[in-house]
Structure 1
Amino acid sequence: MNSRVTMILAGLLLLGAVFVGYWGLVVSRQPPPPAPVAQPATPGTVEKTVATAEDQTRQPVVVLAHDVPPFVALSAADLTLERLRTVPPGSLTSIDQAVGRTPWRALAGGTWLSDESFTTGGALARMIHPDERALAVAVDEVIGAAGQLSPGDYVDVLLFLRQDATNLQQSAQIAVPAMRVLAVGDQLGLTNDGKPASPALSADERIKQDQRRLAARTVVLAVPEQLLSRMMLATQVGTLRLAVRSSEEQRLARYWAGDQDSQATIDAANSNLFQFTQLALGSGPASPATHGGGTRRAVEVIRGNQVTQQTP
């Protein structure tokens, strides 16, 4: 009996092994399921994905929707928000910051707004500080450094006085040192907020402007208020030259950083000037008067083209 059961069990196991082997052979011969085919992305889906990614890196900036005239308060219809990757310094970021404010000059559509957009003054007035004055000087190819001056350069104003009946000794001297060039012809530099004083130009317009700069006959300088009279006299009594100073002095960088050296410029002008009376065609320097054993500095009194020295 035990042998019979054992044989039956062995037969069943044999049949099971044959069945499993056959099933494995059948399964191995079946082709693999086809790989899923990727559906091509539609252009709209790609654009939405890119736009969403870009929106996360952009910041809102208030921009004019169209040209606006001066002296008219802005409304919400005049403004729009644009999202920029790089936000201009000082720009407004909310429409509420500009609604109801009045620009004092005409602004073109697409202009981004800042607090400077609502300040008064023209281009030159916005390029100088309260202790400076913008003064135009007539130049030619010789006076204006062969037409190579550019806004932002620094120049020394040289004065040459010829010998004549009223000026017994010819002289060449620095009348006013380290003057910042604001404009050459119609080419302006940057305003005090760091923005170009002139609107953006196309490539062709920039070429034309450079040609006009080479042929410019006027240069506008930023003159310290205390040296304004001296500069005016120098333009009338002798021959001027503008000597360009090296950019390695970093004067423009210090100016933008808020380093005001107007007083240093005035002191240097006073110490280097040779016989200031010659600027007004005077007869010569007056020696200081003494009183009570002390020395008092004489005061120059200018009347028209005559200079006298008076001791207080």
Structure 2
Amino acid sequence: MNSRVTMVLAVLLLIGAVVAGYWGLVLGRQSPAPAPVANVQAPASPVAAPVVQAVDDSLRQPVLVLVHDLPPNTALTAADLTIERVKVAPAGSFNKLEDAVGRSALRALAAGTWLSESSFDAGGSLARMIRPSERALAVAVDEVIGAGGQLSPGDYVDVMLFLPQDAVNTDKSAQLVIPALRLLSVGELLGPTIDGQVAGNKELTSDEKFKLEQRRSSARTVVLAVPEQMLSRLMLATQSGTLRLAVRSAQEKNLQRYWAGDNEVAARLDSTNRNLVHFAQLSLSAAPRMPAVASAARTARGIEVIRGNQVTQQTP
């Protein structure tokens, strides 16, 4: 009896388990899937970007730029020009097409050049590197005169002169001819023009710059910016003796003062005696050597003897 009851209970439990499983499977198929969580982002303000762009454009300034290479003596047309808006406009640059249309430059202008009145001025590279009170003068140099081939455009140098002994100059001497002259060029390597552009209006490639730098150390001429009132002095010095170019320190900031409008550095530093040093001052003797002509004059003078109306000279 007990075994029959046990078997009946086991069958009932099995049937209940099957029914519960089936019911659970049915309910699982009918339940809806959970809705995905949307990635909610704050909507971007539709006016933010235009406002920033408008503010940026308001700070930019128009600059007239050349679109194509322009040969010399060729009239500009509107098709050759464009207006670009930049944050900092170059000083003196044009900002309207009317400023340049119909005008022609006496030299070639490269594409990308911003135009100003200096773009239409006459003159070559050196003429546009100096001010009206200056003159560009070439000086022959070698590795010794040119500071070991280490000169660069923009350096300031003192021109030293050594005078050898000869029939006219009875004593060797050295002097500072002109101080603080600006180097305009070293060989073929040119400095910038007064308006800050590349001399010759040509942007050099990296290979061209490298070749010029290689030839700089072997340059045989340099061009100096000489104040007009000192031009004759330097010309005489180049023909009188041996020159040396002594490089001045960059910490003197002579070039910065020049670009700020001060071009009288050499005139201010000039002295009356130009630091004249005789060779006798460098020798070990205390007194300088007297010229041979004066010594001979004292020896030939003798003693004057008067006898009546006769006057004779006798050498002791």
Report the TM-score when normalising by structure 2. Answer: 0.68
C-alpha separation in 2, matches of 1:223 and 1:178: 9
Q: Please point out which of 195, 203, 206 is paired with 1:203.
A: 206
Say whether residues 1:142 and 2:151 are aligned partners. no
Q: What's 1:107 paired with?
A: 109
Q: What's 2:69 paired with?
A: 67
Q: Which whole-Å deviations, capped at 9, do the CAs of 1:269-290 have from their partners, x for residues lacking one?
A: 4332539xxxxxxxx9xxxxxx
Say whether residues 1:88 and 2:90 are aligned partners. yes
Q: What's 2:155 paired with?
A: 153
Q: What's 1:192 paired with?
A: 194
Say whether residues 1:127 and 2:153 are aligned partners. no
Q: Please point out which of 159, 162, 166 is paired with 1:164.
A: 166
Q: Kindly report which structure 2 residues correspond to 1:15-26, keeping only aligned pairs within 5 A, or say none.
A: none
Q: Which whole-Å deviations, capped at 9, do the CAs of 1:254-281 have from their partners, x for residues lacking one?
A: 111112325734x724332539xxxxxx
Q: Which amino acid aligns with 1:200?
A: E
C-alpha separation in 2, matches of 1:227 and 1:274: 17
Q: Which amino acid aligns with 1:251?
A: N
Q: What's 1:254 paired with?
A: 257
**RMSD of equivalent CA atoms:** 2.9
The answer to whether the 8 Å contact 1:62/1:81 transfers is yes
Residues 102 and 223 of structure 1: is their aligned pair in 2 closer, same or farther, counting only changes over 3 Å?
same
C-alpha separation in 2, matches of 1:164 and 1:88: 56
Q: Report the Cα offset of residue 86 of structure 1.
A: 4.4
Q: Give aligned-pair identity as a percent.
A: 60
C-alpha separation in 1, matches of 2:216 and 2:203: 16
Q: Report the Cα offset of residue 238 of structure 1.
A: 0.1
Q: Which whole-Å deviations, capped at 9, do the CAs of 1:56-88 have from their partners, x for residues lacking one?
A: 365432221212122233121221223445433
* Partner SS, residue 256 of structure 2: helix
**Higher Rg:** 2
Say whether residues 1:213 and 2:188 are aligned partners. no
Q: What's 2:27 paired with?
A: none
Q: Which whole-Å deviations, capped at 9, do the CAs of 1:6-40 have from their partners, x for residues lacking one?
A: xxxxxxxxxxxxxxxxxxxxxx97733662799xx
C-alpha separation in 1, matches of 2:272 and 2:72: 44
Residues 223 and 63 of structure 1: is their aligned pair in 2 closer, same or farther, counting only changes over 3 Å?
same
C-alpha separation in 2, matches of 1:63 and 1:263: 37
Q: May I ask how many residue pairs the two structures share in their alignment?
A: 238
Q: What's 1:244 paired with?
A: 247
Q: Report the Cα offset of residue 162 of structure 1.
A: 0.7
Q: What's 2:270 paired with?
A: 268
* Partner SS, residue 270 of structure 1: coil
- Unaligned runs of 5+ residues in structure 1 are 1-27, 39-47, 276-283, 285-312
Q: What's 2:302 paired with?
A: none
Q: What's 2:236 paired with?
A: 233
Q: What's 1:35 paired with?
A: 38
The answer to whether the 8 Å contact 2:71/2:107 transfers is yes
Report the TM-score when normalising by structure 1. Answer: 0.68
- Unaligned runs of 5+ residues in structure 2 are 1-30, 42-48, 278-290, 292-316
